[in-house]
Chain A
Amino acid sequence: MKKKINLKSKVVEIVSLVALAILAVTYLVMMGDRLSPYMLQTLLNQTIITAVVSTGAVFIYTTGAFDISLGSAVAVSAISGAMVYNKTESLFLMFLTMIAVGLLIELIDSALAAFLNLPVFVTTIAMLSVLSALVKIMIASGGGAKIEVPRAVVKTLDSVGLKVLILVVFIGLCIFIYNYTALGRREKFLGGNPICAKLTGISVKKLSILAFLIAGVGVGLAAFLTVVRAPTITTSTASSIGMDVIIAIVFGGMPASGGARSKISAALVGSVSMVLLSQIMVILNFSAGISQCVKSILFLAVVTLSGLKGRKAMLTR
């Protein structure tokens, strides 16, 4: 009986990976003769932005919180960086600005929650409105419908090597912090049992702010990658990232309540899975409604199987 339970819990642990493998195989079969390194490059390009934001956001999710405003934060960071480039013509300053703005936004988010005792989810919802309005105001300040960084300038940065470097370094750093430092362990402890964590003397405020700041680095990097990939920034730039991140992280096997079962890999697994799923839907050329319907059912099926291990007798809140 115990063996059976262990087996079940092992299977449940890898449901997201199994789903990823099935999606990958399906995609490969569908692509057939058209398999090529270009295809891999396409997958990387489509995955990287969501993966970077999601990886940073895992720290927030681990504490049991979530941030719905990440997409708008990426947009504001991207616009700020683009404005700085257009003033200074320095790519380095553009990059620094994006990281700084990403950090600042997340700092404000977390500080409001930590020091003024606001519920995190409401703070991020309010932040979503504020940042969305800010995006419109910043774009309008440029006198048109978009803000652009010269294409030729960023094209030099749009290389697989740089993207892989950013992804590997950021994810590597996050894995290190998450798995091999006291900070990572405390974040998981906080998500798993906030009351106990507090009683053991852990500073909840400090941990929350640090989690948001790591996510802020992800936001800044994603802003940079967004501009490198598509240097025309409009009011809708990065608009879908907020929900994409939630979907990717959960699909990747992260418990929404955070805690000990949280894992960094969920971000990457979920992001790649969602990109593969989108590609498969386009190959099948379903109507928009059918395509979204299939996605929703698959999403619910995978997260249900992933959640089997953490089930409680009572309803989960």
Chain B
Amino acid sequence: MKLNKLAAVVLSAAMAGSLLLTGCGGSGNGGSGTEGGSKVDASDISDYGINQNVKIGVLASDLSTAEALSFRAYYEEYLGSQYDVDFIYSEQLGNAEEEISAIEQFIAQGCQGIISLSSFDRPGQIDLCESAGIYYGVAAGVLTDEEQKAYEDCEHYVGAVGPSLETEYQTGYDMAKYFIDKGDTSFLIFAGAAAFGTEMHIYRVAGMFEAMCEADASTSYNGATEKDDIITAIYGDLGVNADHFSSDTFTVSAVNGYNMDDAWFGEIAEKINTPGLQAVLAVGNGSDFFGSMAPEGVEVGSVDTYAEGYLNAMENGQLDYMAGKFSPSIAPIFVAVINAINGVPLRSDGSAFMIDQGYWIATNADEFKTFLDSSSATNPVYDKEILDQYISTPENVVSYSDFESFVSAYTFDDIQNLK
């Protein structure tokens, strides 16, 4: 009992002391890892996740969509069974304050690392993790360039792996180009959270417009034809205002938001039935909202995740193009957080990394099925055999460049070559 009390006091003092630290100023020496792990004494490497249990908290702003469930299944069912790790999920987070509360809960429960799938206030998340001495990584997303610059020296900010805004832009561009190349000229753009200022959706829409501008010089959005100007215009319109689109070749209508009420579905029903409409370009889930409502001949492009329901949609002609996340895509940040916990942080020139990771593109049911099978929690494309190669041990200290190459080779074929 006395020992318990003593332990509690020591722990409290440590916590209180760590809370006094603020921000990352001066503390960011890049940890003990750095390039190639050359500065690491192999005997100092811990074996959390391998022979010792480790707790990792997962911040999640979504616990109910197909993407969220497939991510959770990969962490808890696959990685949880292959490694000595407990993933502790937050409740469904709705705002920045709830993110902070969840991190505090993880800290109180003794989590050694946190992986974030929630993006209301990433600087706030890093600040808190840094002050508490908890390793923090971002999965399925990245920080803005300004945020990355401001926080990359934080010792406990491990890094971020996910689609960069440039990749988001390219994803929108590629989708639109795919349909333009098929000869389509009449589009309905589902701009989703662009209406709420969500950057990834704004960039995807901008990519779509850019593809149209490129195909026909008379095309512009609010007078803009260049990427940055188009993005500014979409920010200004809080989404897509179809009245601001002009082209001699293309016609565009738009649905914004995710209200999912009568009015919103009414708007979709109205626009999906626009005479002559050829394709829906969705920045998010297209098949669920538009698939079954789309008249015969109207094609649908989606940015979402590889899940069973969407395979059915593709087999039945309600989904024609999918830029999808694969659930094991959140494995690399797990590897990086484990390495950091074990005292071998992977640092890019001494700083936290930010590595771009794109989508897998499927345009037919066979491709989709292959990708879906590789996203399962039972036989994932990033399996233990591959991941073990990037978890440092005294015998094998992983270098950042190796890790970066591993993450950057995210296409389906590239990953096959890793085995």
Contacts and interface: CB of A to CB of B under 8 A. Distances in A.
Given A36-B11, A230-B124, A288-B63, A42 B107 contact: yes
B123 interface: yes
Interface in B80-115: 86-92, 94-102, 104-105, 107-110
Given A34-B108, A288-B63, A234 B92 contact: no
B273 interface: no
A239 B95 contact: yes
A210 to B, nearest CB: 29
A42 B106 CA distance: 10
A285 B124 CA distance: 24
Contact of A236 (B11, B87, B89, B120): B120
Contacts of A45: 100-101, 104
A114 B120 CA distance: 38
Interface in B1-27: 4, 7-8, 11-12, 15-16, 19, 22-23
A240 B96 CA distance: 12
Contact of A143 (B12, B19, B120, B235): B235
A141 to B, nearest CB: 10
A151 B3 CA distance: 39
**Candidate in B64, B89, B90 with the most chain A CB atoms within 10 angstroms:** B89
A145 B196 contact: yes
Interface string A43-62: 00110010000000000000
B197 interface: yes
B66 interface: no
A31 interface: yes
Contacts of A283: 88, 109
Contacts of B124: 151, 230-232
Interface string A275-288: 00011011101011
Contacts of A229: 97, 100
A273 B346 CA distance: 41
Given A236-B94, A237-B97, A155 B12 contact: no
Nearest to A139: B197
A136 B238 CA distance: 10
Contacts of B238: 140
B121 interface: yes
A138 to B, nearest CB: 12
B198 interface: yes
A35 B8 contact: yes
Given A37-B12, A282-B91, A42 B197 contact: no
Interface string A239-267: 11000000000000000000000000000
Given A37-B12, A282-B90, A238 B95 contact: yes
Given A278-B91, A282-B105, A36 B12 contact: yes
**Candidate in A34, A155, A229, A288 with the most chain B CB atoms within 10 angstroms:** A288
Contacts of B7: 33
Contact of A34 (B11, B22, B95, B121): B11
B108 A236 contact: no
B8 A36 contact: yes
Nearest to A236: B95
Contacts of A278: 91
A235 interface: yes
Given A146-B197, A151-B123, A285-B86, A42 B8 contact: no
5 nearest A-B residue pairs (beta carbon): A145-B197, A230-B96, A38-B15, A232-B121, A288-B63
Interface of A: 31, 33-39, 41-42, 45-46, 49, 136, 139-140, 143-146, 151-152, 155, 226, 229-240, 278-279, 281-283, 285, 287-288, 291
Interface of B: 4, 7-8, 11-12, 15-16, 19, 22-23, 63-64, 86-92, 94-102, 104-105, 107-110, 120-121, 123-124, 127, 196-199, 235-236, 238
18 contacts: A31-B108, A33-B7, A42-B107, A45-B100, A46-B104, A136-B196, A139-B197, A144-B197, A151-B124, A226-B97, A230-B97, A231-B96, A232-B120, A232-B124, A234-B95, A234-B120, A238-B97, A285-B88
